Amino acid sequence: MDYAHLGRSGLRVSRLCLGTMNFGPLTPPADAHAIMDRTHDLGINFFDTANRYGGAFSPPGQVANNDQSHPGWTEEIIGDWFASGSRRRERTVLATKLYGAMGDWPNEDRLSALNIRRACDASLRRLRTDYIDLYQMHHVDRDTPWDEIWQAMEVLVAQGKILYAGSSNFAGWHIAQANDAAAARDFFGLVSEQSIYNLMTRDIELEVLPAAISYGVGVIPWSPLQGGLLGGVLKKEREGRRRLSSRAQETVERSREQIEAYENLCDEIGEEPGSVALAWLLHQDGVTGPIIGPRTAGQLEDAQRAVSLKLDDKVLERLDSIFPGYRPAPENYAW
């Protein structure tokens, strides 16, 4: 496994990040524990979760176990795994998130100082740990001033409850605004940003990625396979191994020519489409490592190939011709 610094920080994390959103509703706790053990065996030390994960959901074509589902369940599963010993917690760079509602009472969501304090304490209890390595804002809160947010985060750092702060789904100007406000307080500010980023969805190249690079914020792409569409969907469809929802099927039909060209290119170079999609992200400036969300141990094994897969310039150029990206703004749309 390769490692990289998370943004401008001294923290070293694996080039693949284990996403845990499936743990509970789709992946039973025992299977989730086995996946996390195997993740450590592969040298992956970076785990991502959120306080909302574990609630009921049913992705297309998948059967969810919603009998026990509740927000916080995923953190509880991870906490039980930590409690089983063998230095599991010490070997893990743990990231979680807050923002979404954890109840129906005022101040049980968003980024007020009150909710930041309560949400952090609740995550610590569920995760059965006394600190969180990376505490991330799952969305920007336009109603809460940055001075309030950073004051609350500073208290958590001073108390030893969190080490670093990160963001998710921020615009480029949110990253700039947040880090400028932090600098004015002599606070370290954001070290990471989670954004949707993959060959098919490259909008962050306009402003988010340039802002992140400029401010030393490491980018952690989520949905690196565009919901499976970059994981060999057409081949799986032909072989009867994947059933698409009507919405996903519509997306496939709109992009069928591109996806076919992509899968053909992967066949030419003798690599699995999912590995190529992940490897492409690892070749992009500013990217620390994509979030992989395996439901099974087999999917985890498949993902690790991306770290050692080197794509030459010709392959990268062909990928760009199949899935055109963006130059940084404003050059992309102005002279």
> Number of C-alpha atoms within 13 angstroms, CB side, residue 64?
17
Contacts of residue 107, Cβ cutoff 8 Å, sequence gap at least 6: 114, 115, 118
Q: State yes or no: is 53 an active-site residue.
A: yes
∠ CA 51-43-135, nearest 5°, is: 25
For 149, phi and psi rounded to 5 degrees? -60, -50
Helix pair angle (273-282, 256-269), 10° resolution: 90
Residue with tokens 């909302």: 52
Please choose, from the candidates 163, 157, 193, the residue with its C-alpha nearest in 3D space to the C-alpha of residue 177.
193
- By residue count, the chain amounts to 335
Tell me the one-letter amino acid at 252. V
Tell me which of 3, 53, 131, 333 is the catalytic residue: 53
Tell me the one-letter amino acid at 112. S
Contacts of residue 89, Cβ cutoff 8 Å, sequence gap at least 6: 82, 129
Alpha carbons 9 and 129: distance in angstroms, whole number: 22
For 30, phi and psi rounded to 5 degrees? -60, -40
Please identify every residue annotated as catalytic.
53
